[in-house]
Amino acid sequence: MAEQMLNQLAALVIGLLLGFYFERRAGRKTREQNKELHAELDALRSSVYTVGGSEKSRERESPLAPEKLVSEVVKYAKAIQDAEGRLRKSLLIEHFTSSGYLPGSVNQALDLAQESGALSVNEMWVIIR
């Protein structure tokens, strides 16, 4: 009986020690992963801020009607087009999202402008007609 109790006590101590060891090891691995994630987030933040993002969210004073946004998109596209009459779609979207518009609204305005014949839009370029 005493020997059985001693075996159980030894098994309990070994179990506790092994549990403590693996818990510490898992915690260390989690902390390393957290450091890596923080480094990635810092890199993403700095890349967003370098292309004109802001730390504060910007709000529009008054949202434009879709037709008005279409005319603003066409006007801006004409203002920054290159010699071939085209511009990168991402630049156009970035300009209007930095002004507080949602990318979906800008894409919708581009679609409407394309339907009206003012622009031609593909994955990368907006071409002025």
Closest CA to 101 of 48, 129, 61: 61
pLDDT of residue 99: 81
Q: How far is CA 73 from CA 17, 81, 99, 109, 123, in A?
A: 66, 12, 12, 7, 17
Long-range Cβ pairs for the range 38-45 (8 Å, 24+): none
Domain boundaries, the chain: 1-55, 66-128
Closest CA to 105 of 73, 57, 59, 61: 73
pLDDT of residue 61: 46
Closest CA to 87 of 42, 63, 113, 121: 121
For the domain made up of 66-128, give the CATH fold. Answer: Arc Repressor Mutant, subunit A (1.10.10)
CB 119 within 8 A of CB 77: yes
* pTM for the whole structure: 0.51
* pLDDT beneath 70: ranges in the chain: 47-64
At 85-103, the pLDDT tens digits run 888 888 888 888 888 888 8
Closest CA to 125 of 72, 85, 87: 87
pLDDT of residue 122: 86
pLDDT of residue 2: 85
pLDDT of residue 44: 78
